[in-house]
Chains A and B, each alone.
Chain A
C-alpha cells in the first residue's frame, strides 16, 4: 500500500470511529498509532505515541491553557456575567432589540476574560435569555442571539482555539491574540447590526424593555462598579503579554490571580465559587490536553504519509488563483465544522491545510489563524452539531432545537460577511500585530 493510500485510509478510518462515538482523542491516538506502526514499526509507534502523550502533558507552552480556562470559569461562577449584562443593558438597551444587543456587548466583554465559547454562552445566556423572554422577545431571536454571541468568546482574546493554533503552527500567541481583537469587535458590531435590522423589520421580535432610556451619567457611573474588574484583569494580563513582559502562561497565571483578587474585592469569592471553577477547569483542561495528544500522534502519521506535502503540490498546480483555493479550503472547514467540535477540528486540520495556505498560497499565518477561528465560529452555531446551540438548549430546555437553529441564519450571514471583509481587508487582522510586534 502506498503511503498516500494509507493516509487517506487512515482519515476514512478516523471518521468511521468518530461516527461510532469513540471519544475523538482516543480515535486519533488509535489511528495515529496503528498508521505509524504500519508505516514504520510498532516499536517505533510505541515510543512515539507514549512520547507524544508525555511531552504534551508536561509542556510548559501548553500550561497556558488551564490558566485561561480557569480564568474564564472563575468569571463564570462568580456572577460577573450578571453585572456585565446590567452594564451592557445601560449602554445599548434603548435601541431596537436592546436586550439582545446588550447580550452581544456582554458576550464581547466577557470574552475578554474567557477563552471558551461554551462558557461565554452559558454565562451570559443564563442571565440574558430569561430577561429577553420576560420582555416578550421572540424565543428564536433570544436563544439564537446568545448562541451566536457566545462564539465571541473564542474570537476575542484570550482564545483557547487561537492558543492551540499558535502551538500547532509555532506562531506567537501574543500576536494571534492581538490579531483577534479587531475582527472580534467587528463581529460584535455585525451581530448588533443584524439584531437592529431584524427588529426594525419586525419590532414585535424584540420589543423595547421598560426603563431602557439611554442615560450617559448612569452608564459612566456603572463603569467603576461593573467594568473595572474586567478592565483591570485584561490590562494586567494582556498588557504584560503584549508588552513582552510575560510569557502566555505567565499572562494566564497573572490573569487568574487578578480575577481572584477582583472577585474577592467584590465579596464574591466563596469556597463554592472557587471549587466549582477549579472542577470545571480541570475537567476542561483534561479534555483539551488529551485532544492535543491525540492530534499530535495522528499528525505524526499524516506527516509520515506525506499527505500535506502532496496536497500542497496538488493545490499549487491548480489553475485557479490562490483566492479561489483559499475559499475551497475554508468551505471544507465549514463543512467539517458542522459536525466536528472547534478544538478537534482545529487540531485535526491544521497539520494538513496550514502548509498549503501559508507556504503554497502565501497567506499570512497570523491572518489565517483568525480566519480559521471565524470559520470555526460558524461551526459552533450550525446544525447538526452547533455546540453553542446545545448549551442554549440546556438553558432554555422548553425551546425546540429547530427554533434556535431557525434564528441562527441572520447571524451566520454576519459571520460570512465578516469573513469576506477580512479576506478583502486582511489588514484588519494584521494591523495590531504589526504595530505591537
Chain B
C-alpha cells in the first residue's frame, strides 16, 4: 500500500510538473503575441495555441488536484457520520466517482476518434484536434488511478478494523 501511495504521488507530480511549465509557456506566448502585434507581426494562431496549452495543463493537473483533495465537495452532513457507516459511505462515493470517470475517459476517447475520422484541425494552426482530446482523456485516466488508490485505502482501513 505504501509503495502504491508513493508511486501515485510520484506519478501525479510527474504530470503536474509539465502542467506548471505549460502555464508559464502560456504567459510567454500571450505576452510575446502582444509584443509582436505591436511590431505588426502577430503570432499566427496564438489564441488557438493558448486554448490547446490550457487544455493540456488542466488535464495534466486534474489528478494532482484530486490527490490534494482540491476538487470541491460539501462535507457538512458526511462529516457527521462515524465509524463503519462513514467508511462504507466513503467507499460507495469513491466507487461512484470511479465509474463516472471511466465512462468519461471512454467518452472522450470516442470523441477524439470521431475528430480523427472527421479530419478536424485547428482553424488557424491546422493542428489535428484529436490529440488534445486524447490528452484530456489521459488526464481523466490518471484521475481514475487516484480514485482507485482511495478505494484501496478505504478497503484496507475496513479490513484493519
Chain A interface residues toward B at CB < 8 A: 18-26, 29-30, 33, 46-47, 49-51, 53-54, 57-60, 62-63, 66-67, 70, 246, 249-250, 252-254, 256-257, 275, 278-279, 281-287, 289-291, 339-341, 343-344, 384-385
> Shortest 5 CB-CB distances between A and B: which pairs?
A253-B30, A50-B111, A278-B20, A58-B55, A21-B78
Find out whether the CB atom of B23 lies under 8 angstroms from the CB atom of A20: no
Q: Which of A22, A275, A284 contacts B73 (CB 8 A)?
A: A22
Residue of B nearest to A21 (CB): B78
* Cα distance, A124 to B132, chains bound together (Å): 39
Residues in chain B near residue A279, CB distance under 8 A: 16, 20
Is B1 an interface residue when CB atoms closer than 8 A count as contact? no
Find out whether the CB atom of A50 lies under 8 angstroms from the CB atom of B61: no
Find out whether the CB atom of B51 lies under 8 angstroms from the CB atom of A290: no
Find out whether the CB atom of A23 lies under 8 angstroms from the CB atom of B27: no
Bitwise interface map of B from 5 to 41 toward A, beta carbon under 8 Å scored 1, else 0: 0000000000010011001101101110110000000
Given contacts A21-B78, A49-B104, A281-B23, contact A341 B70 (CB under 8 A): no
Q: Which of B30, B68, B72, B107 contacts A49 (CB 8 A)?
A: B107
Main secondary structure of the interface of B (DSSP, over half): helix
Q: How far is the CB of B28 from chain A (nearest CB, A)?
A: 8
Residues in chain B near residue A283, CB distance under 8 A: 16, 61, 64-65, 68, 70
A and B contact pairs by CB, cutoff 8 A, 15 listed: A20-B78, A21-B78, A22-B73, A25-B72, A26-B97, A30-B96, A49-B104, A54-B132, A63-B54, A66-B57, A254-B31, A278-B23, A282-B65, A341-B74, A344-B72
Residues in chain A near residue B104, CB distance under 8 A: 29, 49-50, 53
Residues in chain B near residue A50, CB distance under 8 A: 104, 107-108, 110-111, 133
Q: How far is the CB of A256 from chain B (nearest CB, A)?
A: 5
**Which of A25, A256, A283, A284 is most buried by chain B, counting CB atoms within 10 A of its CB?**
A283
* Cα distance, A20 to B89, chains bound together (Å): 8
Q: How far is the CB of A344 from chain B (nearest CB, A)?
A: 6
Residue of B nearest to A15 (CB): B74
Residue of A nearest to B103 (CB): A33
Q: Which of A29, A57, A253 contacts B31 (CB 8 A)?
A: A253
Find out whether the CB atom of B62 lies under 8 angstroms from the CB atom of A67: no
Residues in chain A near residue B61, CB distance under 8 A: 282-283, 285-286
Residue of A nearest to B29 (CB): A253
Residues in chain B near residue A58, CB distance under 8 A: 51-52, 54-55, 132
Q: How far is the CB of B68 from chain A (nearest CB, A)?
A: 6
* Cα distance, A25 to B71, chains bound together (Å): 8
Residues in chain A near residue B121, CB distance under 8 A: none
Find out whether the CB atom of B23 lies under 8 angstroms from the CB atom of A282: yes
* Cα distance, A341 to B108, chains bound together (Å): 28
Residues 61-92 of B contacting A (Cβ, < 8 Å): 61-62, 64-66, 68, 70-78, 89-90, 92
Given contacts A57-B54, A278-B20, contact A385 B76 (CB under 8 A): yes
* Cα distance, A250 to B26, chains bound together (Å): 10
Residues 105-133 of B contacting A (Cβ, < 8 Å): 107-108, 110-111, 114, 132-133
* Cα distance, A257 to B26, chains bound together (Å): 11
Residue of A nearest to B65 (CB): A286
Given contacts A26-B100, A67-B26, contact A57 B59 (CB under 8 A): yes
Is B145 an interface residue when CB atoms closer than 8 A count as contact? no
